[in-house]
């Protein structure tokens, strides 16, 4: 199954997200966040990489997760796109110092620009964005390859946050796709 199959899955997952009201998205995200905080790889972590949500696309809202982690004195790290070239998807990782430290990139994704860089090896857990996830841990993201490139450089747990309706038995994957080690939905936590 190749890119055509992935495109079909992306369409399906995006359609589901569009069907969610803002209220439903908030309620589901809250359940997911609380399950994620209790998940085994997250509880002892001191440095956690979290993506900033694209709320207009009904992505699982990680802002409450970020606030709760910071309240526990966990260092939160956000991704910053450093290359917008399709051939070289590259992220760096910077400490999150609150909403005032964020600026929008060309895709209107909020990123910390002038905070301390954090090397990937210092990260204890990575929260990975996903449109959908297979029960085997393979995920489908937006298709740019940023997280697959990044995940090849870390050995820490990788946690996907997704809606239960976007958890399926399996998804097409390629040799460069890096599976997640934990999946959190509003109903369950899975370790593929």
Binding residues for ATP, by number, are: 6-10, 139-147
Q: Are 95 and 77 contacting, i.e. CB atoms less than 8 angstroms apart?
A: yes
Most distant CA atoms of the chain, gap in Å: 43
Q: What is residue 24's three-state secondary structure?
A: helix
The annotation places the binding site for substrate at 59
Q: How many CB atoms lie within 10 A of CB 112?
A: 24
The annotation places the binding site at 6-10, 59, 139-147
The backbone torsions φ and ψ at residue 130, rounded to the nearest 5 degrees and listed phi first, read -155, 135
Give the single-character DSSP code of 37.
H
Q: Are 141 and 177 contacting, i.e. CB atoms less than 8 angstroms apart?
A: no
């Amino acid at each position: 199954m190749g890119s055509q199959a992935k495109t079909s899955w992306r369409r399906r997952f995006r359609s589901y997200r569009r069907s969610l009201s803002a209220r439903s998205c908030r309620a589901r995200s809250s359940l997911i966040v609380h399950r994620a905080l209790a998940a085994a790889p997250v509880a002892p972590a001191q440095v956690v990489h979290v993506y900033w949500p694209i709320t207009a696309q009904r992505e699982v809202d990680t802002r409450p997760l970020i606030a709760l982690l910071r309240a526990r004195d966990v260092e939160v790290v956000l991704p910053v796109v450093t290359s917008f070239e399709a051939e070289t998807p590259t992220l760096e990782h910077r400490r999150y110092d609150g909403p005032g430290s964020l600026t929008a990139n060309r895709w209107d994704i909020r990123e910390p620009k002038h905070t301390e860089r954090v090397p990937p090896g210092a990260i204890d857990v990575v929260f990975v964005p996903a449109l959908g996830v297979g029960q085997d841990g393979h995920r489908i993201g937006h298709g740019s390859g940023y997280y697959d490139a990044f995940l090849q450089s870390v050995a820490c747990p990788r946690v996907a946050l997704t809606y239960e309706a976007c958890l399926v038995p399996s998804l097409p994957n390629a040799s460069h796709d890096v599976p997640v080690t934990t999946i959190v939905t509003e109903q369950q936590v899975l370790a593929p």
